[in-house]
Amino acid sequence: MAKVPGAKIVDNQEGATLDKAVSVASTMLSSHPDLDAFFGEAGGATLGAARAVKSQGHVGKTVVFGGDMTAEIAQELVDFTVIKAVVDISGQGLGKLALAQAIKSIDGQAPAEIKVPYDIDLYRTSESGKAWLEAHADGIP
């Protein structure tokens, strides 16, 4: 909270699946009409919060940040009216890393630690959403 002075968490509820996330976010907006931001901890929560913001007439008042990039979330980021940033760990990139580590281990070059570092991607502009969609034209994260 130190990096966002004055920020206050008003609620934290489970809603990772899209249908539940829309319902939870809608209830939060009704309970906290001055709410200015959501953070969706999963793709369904991110998209659900964005849909609730739109359906409750909070566009321009409430923004959404989230995790887990998908084609639908990237399209919302391109629009940039509600979703303003998304963090993601690439499923394809993580799969490639796991395969590379398995091959190294088979070749007797196992990593010293069980944890292998991997970068987290940050998408925070309409252009970064467009770039994600171009890089993932098949829709596979």
What percent of the chain has pLDDT above 70? Answer: 99
CATH number at residue 126: 3.40.50.2300
* pLDDT value at 3 more than 90: no
Tens-place pLDDT, residues 15-62? 888 999 999 999 999 999 999 999 999 999 999 999 999 999 999 999
Q: Is residue 26 part of a domain?
A: yes
Q: Tell me: pLDDT of 117 over 80.
A: yes
CA-based nearest residue to 59, from 32, 36, 86, 31? 36
**What is the model's pLDDT at position 71?**
95
Mean pLDDT computed over 131-136: 95
Number of domains in the chain: 1
For residue 70, give its domain range: 18-88+120-135
- Average pLDDT for the chain: 93
Which pTM was predicted?
A: 0.87
Q: How far apart are CA 19 and CA 14, in angstroms?
A: 12
Confidence of residue 7 (pLDDT cuts 50, 70, 90): confident
